[in-house]
Structure 1
């Protein structure tokens, strides 16, 4: 959906370039943040933009607005193809690192990997539950559930998917016991 020429206010959601745009109703004025649009071509829903030329705050256009009154910041520019490509490459690299770490921690590969943060993906919890807080049990359960769903979507071998499902069941027991396993 592209705006008419007279639209000078857009609603945006702050999102890194590699994150999907929210699926909000473009007419829901209660969602997103209002910014002025001074760029030469009209905005469109889903346009990836940069909001601040100093630190390059990434965002996505989620709607339009024509009757707002007040002082607003403006959209600085559209994201470049290069920025979008680099963001996708970083996402793919981080995904590969996260998948390798999941496989390693779950015992699906012979070589152990050093754990570290993988931007954009949940922290990898231990495969074998231990004594943890209820919150840690919840986060571990969510992480392993996410990993199991990922394996299903990407057609991992049955033996590997069953291993992840077992880890999810083990963490579910710990979560049900309020972290006291």
Structure 2
């Protein structure tokens, strides 16, 4: 699976939430997440746990550059009965880097997921994930992301290159 992503800092979360509500014609969905990142030699591997106790194991590769970038990923659902055991096995085998806790507001606009995140210890951010359709080029995904950036009033100087875990590790 592939998508085009951008991530940016947010100066006024209220304004960007209001714009996202209008663009998506929805109130959005609030999702509490805890992501444990594990040591791997390439890409990133994280176990995401939701408030319900269910989880997802996600592996992804994405360049650390500002602006739209291609992200390739694999993920699988983990039932709550297996989350703790899986975390223990991964920590024993790989070691963990950091835990990222966030409250995410999710808005859907066409083929794009708009995430407005409040990250514990870091602040407020916005992330776009343009889910590429079969045969759709990265260039098309980048244009969609740039158009939404403009509509959301996200400026290029607010873009960040890495993941939240990278910012917490500094």
What TM-score results when the alignment is normalised by the length of structure 2? 0.21
More helix by share: 1
Of structures 1 and 2, the one with the larger relative CO (CA 8 A, separation 6+) is: 2
What TM-score results when the alignment is normalised by the length of structure 1? 0.20
For the pair shown, the structure with the greater C-alpha radius of gyration is 1
More strand by share: 2
